């Protein structure tokens, strides 16, 4: 084999390894990895909470490319549980280097969230809100909330 052939083979092998490493590094998390990352995020919220009567739970978790850049973000629906109350929160965790970090949370009340889905970059929450004669525990008015994510923030979408 001449020198040119060896260097071509070596170059091709190096390029293949770089491409394999790049696609492995950018591979989206599977469902189990996404849940684990989401649970770490919720555990951090619990640790910084401060009220021993409150706890946080991880709800629905979805890994999806929200902005079309080829990188998957992790969408987390979480619940804050108090002694006589609860509230839901929605957060997006974005990849930063080798980690996922918080990169946007819904700031408004979400009602009683019954389900979450992500499609076409839109996060959709199926919720229930209190009607005029509903007891606090049992909202009956169905409402769908939609959000779009851009790095750093979640905004309501139509």
Q: What is the DSSP string of the chain?
A: --HHHHHHHHHHHHHHHHHHHHHHHTPPP-HHHHHHHHHHHHHHHHHHH--TT-EEEEEEEEEE-SSSSS--EEEEEEEEE-SS-EEEEEEEEEEETTEEEEEEE--S---EEEEEEEETTEEEEEEEE--TT--TT---EEEEEEEEEETTEEEE--
- Residue pair 75/118 in contact by the 8 Å Cβ criterion: yes
Using one digit for the tens of pLDDT, what is the confidence trace for 86-123? 899 999 999 999 999 999 999 788 999 999 999 999 99
The residue to which tokens 């009956």 are assigned: 140
- Alpha-carbon dihedral sign for residues 120, 121, 127, 131: negative
Q: Return the closest-CA partner of residue 93 out of 149, 147, 146.
A: 149
Q: Give this prediction's pTM.
A: 0.80
Q: Return the closest-CA partner of residue 95 out of 127, 73, 68.
A: 73
Average pLDDT value over all residues in the chain: 85
Q: What was the pLDDT predicted at 113?
A: 94
Please say if the pLDDT value at position 60 is more than 60: yes
pLDDT over 70, % of the chain: 84
């Amino acid at each position: 084999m001449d020198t040119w052939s060896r260097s071509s083979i070596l170059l091709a092998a190096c390029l293949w390894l770089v491409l394999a490493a790049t696609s492995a590094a950018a591979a989206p998390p599977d469902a189990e990895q996404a849940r684990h990352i989401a649970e770490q995020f919720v555990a951090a919220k619990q640790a910084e909470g401060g009220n021993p009567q409150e706890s946080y739970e991880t709800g629905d978790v979805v890994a999806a490319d929200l902005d079309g850049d080829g990188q998957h973000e992790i969408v987390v629906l979480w619940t804050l549980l108090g002694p006589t109350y609860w509230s839901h929160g929605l957060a997006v965790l974005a990849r930063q280097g080798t980690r996922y970090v918080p990169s946007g949370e819904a700031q408004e009340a979400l009602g009683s969230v019954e389900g979450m889905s992500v499609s076409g970059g839109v996060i959709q929450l199926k919720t229930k809100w209190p009607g005029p004669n509903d007891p606090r525990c049992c909202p009956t008015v169905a409402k769908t909330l939609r959000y779009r994510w851009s790095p750093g923030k979640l905004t309501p979408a139509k």
